[in-house]
Structure 1
Amino acid sequence: MRIGEVLVGQGDSIRAALLAIDRSGWSRAFVADSAGRLVGAVSESAIRQALLDGIGLESRLYPFMEDAGVSTKPGAGRAEVIDLMHTLGLRELPVVDQDGRLVEVHSDLAVAGPAHRGNVAVIMAGGRGSRLAPLTDHVPKPMLPVAGRPILERLVMHLVGSGITRIFISVNYLNEVIEQHFGDGRAFGCRIEYLREDEAVPLGTGGSLRLLAQQDCEITEPILVMNGDLVTAFSVGGLLEAHAGEDVVATVATTRYEHQVPFGVLEQTSGRLVRIVEKPVPSWPVNAGIYVIEPKLISEIPEGRLFLITELLDQCLKRGWPIGLWQVREHWQDIGRPAELAQARGQA
């Protein structure tokens, strides 16, 4: 459904507003000017009252138009949208761009999440986060708040909103903080179980995956694995679908790393200057800390020792097993250092 198909103009009729409400399933018809800028809304209840008062269907809706109320900007995360809608008791939340144009509408039914996915997710949340000390002296890094909500909670809500309802969290350092906050996951609309490492024997991002073999479950679908210190709204469905569409044993999500060269770069051929490129910004694809792996790879992970997931990928490559790449196009930020945390919090 395109947004233009459910907008009405100020000069339109009550009938047009009712048709827009019927097409969208919303409780309001949103009113835009000729440039698509949001100027108001007409609620179904206001229309009903007008009809009861004897106003005809062909009457102009303008006299019944109200302010559209609170809106949000494009790119707002699911957690922020849910918080805003729940706090204000909204059934719909319009999304307005910098020019005031209505580009999308979040509805209470849509943010509840899409169809269930059979994949399980594993979130790595066992690290000490020593580079963020003293903030992490008593709080594990994934539980540090960003915009009023722990990073790990944002990830859990994003997964649930994408249809994943069975989540394993790998814990070690200050595991009780995480487990007390999430419990069994019911309060977050999912089932959460814990992969508990021995604090004296950290297993790393790959080794803790081996603990899945000890769980009471049969995993047949590809497994989504991600670091627990990411602030991102990546497309879970897009990644899983990309993996399913290729003959690969794993898919690595990538993002771009840019480096500002502070000098003019000289390009040459045979000792002769060809051109000068002033302060270029080259970029490279880098590991985003998000993966999809086939269940059969779990048995390839050694038990009881430190083992990084990148080692698992290296083993696959040495055996000639193909690994796919998928680019994260949405916002992505790793929270590993104080400057990155400050940036995520809007303090930098």
Structure 2
Amino acid sequence: MNSKDQIWRRALLPHTATIQEAIRNLDQTAIKIVLVVDNAGKLEGTISDGDIRRGLLRGLNMGSPITTVIHRNPFVVPPDMTRETIMQLMVANKIQQIPAVDEQRQVVGLHMWDQITTPQVRSNIMVIMAGGKGTRLRPHTEHCPKPMLPVGDKPMLEHIINRAMANGFSHFMLAIHYLGHMVEDYFGDGSKMNARIEYIREQAPLGTAGALGLLARRPEAPFLVTNGDVLTDINYGELLDFHIRNQAAATMAVRIHEWQHPFGVVQTQGVDIIGFEEKPVARTHINAGVYVLAPESLNALAPNERCDMPTLFEYLQADGRRTVVYPMHEPWLDVGRPSDYETAQRTGGAA
């Protein structure tokens, strides 16, 4: 649901309208649905062209009230439901429109199949940290920067950019250092990919956040940051929307990591045994290496000063700024070790 696209507001009709008014509304909006609301703006139901035709076959006429053809139990979703889930609902129920309603059942939007399957254009910048040496991946990285290692038929970095472009992003800034000329030679200004690519050139390694202090121009809107060795099927657009909804200074994508203790655990209090737990499973959130930052978060960074992303989050927290997590369930792979790279090659870049 594109918040900038307000055509659904024109599809609202009061419950006192007639079938003729509903037909006129369907013709004018061309979105194949009428949203019927009461005097308080609460959704009473929906009307489609098929509903009207069936009503006319029953003997209704143009002056009949729309309450005689209204579908009173339409599928609805809350405003924060993800695009992926909405698409699944549409496919499963063979419908092309789903109204979004708030807790008071007031209409706040309308999801339409044609729009939801077309990526929303995102003007926000995406920064990709591609300057690391990848020492753990030697000898693969002796003559090639880690983000340029081939996965399938293209470099790992190209997989990341392609994924983001599929989510509507087209403006990228690549932070480069180790063998950075290879990155520049390959991608250039991005025109061959129908993208815009600029470079942040680190004179020395600055960590996973420090390069942001070198930005010549501060972004005017929230921007994405990802490590150049993270392959994932995350929807970067939904991550950005989540950040904006939560009015955060910084958002960190996290994954649940499970670890099973290999032994039975004995719970004690002093010398007394108070319980047993057989091979318990510990669940923790781990940093997935993908973030969204508000422009003002850059105030915490100094040019040419090393800083890792968790430290930046701590700076923001100390300043009283809100930092939040985005729990992700999508496939994800941090290509940091030879075994990870083997997995990436085996899957051809599909995280």
* TM-score between the two structures when normalised by the length of structure 1: 0.63
1:268 CA drift (Å): 4.8
**Residue 172 to residue 103, structure 1, CA distance change in 2 (3 Å):** farther
Secondary structure at 2:325's aligned position in 1? strand
Spell out the pairing of 1:54-133 with structure 2 (5 A cutoff).
114-133=119-138
**Residue 271 to residue 189, structure 1, CA distance change in 2 (3 Å):** farther
**Structure 1 residue aligned with 2:306:** 306
**Residue 251 to residue 193, structure 1, CA distance change in 2 (3 Å):** same
**Structure 2 residue aligned with 1:88:** none
Say if 2:300 and 2:316, in contact at 8 Å, map to a contact too.
Answer: no
Using the alignment, how far apart are the partners of 2:269 and 2:153 within structure 1?
A: 55
Using the alignment, how far apart are the partners of 1:238 and 1:276 within structure 2?
A: 42
Q: Is it true that 1:202 corresponds to 2:205 in the alignment?
A: yes
Per-residue Cα deviation, 1:252-309 (whole angstroms, up to 9, x for no partner): 1101222231111224567654554332331200111111110112232111222222
**Structure 2 residue aligned with 1:8:** none
**Residue 280 to residue 164, structure 1, CA distance change in 2 (3 Å):** same
Spell out the pairing of 1:197-276 with structure 2 (5 A cutoff).
197-198=202-203, 201-212=204-215, 214-215=216-217, 219-268=219-268, 273=273, 275-276=275-276
Q: Which AA in structure 2 matches 1:256?
A: I
Q: Which AA in structure 2 matches 1:302?
A: A
Say if 1:160 and 1:189, in contact at 8 Å, map to a contact too.
Answer: no
* Aligned equivalent of 1:158, options 151, 156, 163: 163
Moved over 4 A (4+): 109-113, 268-275
Using the alignment, how far apart are the partners of 1:112 and 1:139 within structure 2?
A: 37
Say if 1:113 and 1:160, in contact at 8 Å, map to a contact too.
Answer: no
Using the alignment, how far apart are the partners of 1:345 and 1:264 within structure 2?
A: 37
Secondary structure at 1:119's aligned position in 2? strand
Spell out the pairing of 1:137-216 with structure 2 (5 A cutoff).
137-198=142-203, 201-212=204-215, 214-215=216-217
**Structure 2 residue aligned with 1:281:** 281
Q: Sequence identity of aligned pairs in percent?
A: 36
124-133 or 146-155: which moved more?
146-155
* TM-score between the two structures when normalised by the length of structure 2: 0.63
Say if 2:214 and 2:304, in contact at 8 Å, map to a contact too.
Answer: no
1:111 CA drift (Å): 12
Secondary structure at 2:178's aligned position in 1? coil
Unaligned runs of 5+ in 1: 1-101
How many residue pairs align between the two structures? 240
Using the alignment, how far apart are the partners of 2:342 and 2:278 within structure 1?
A: 30
Using the alignment, how far apart are the partners of 2:337 and 2:118 within structure 1?
A: 32
Secondary structure at 2:330's aligned position in 1? coil
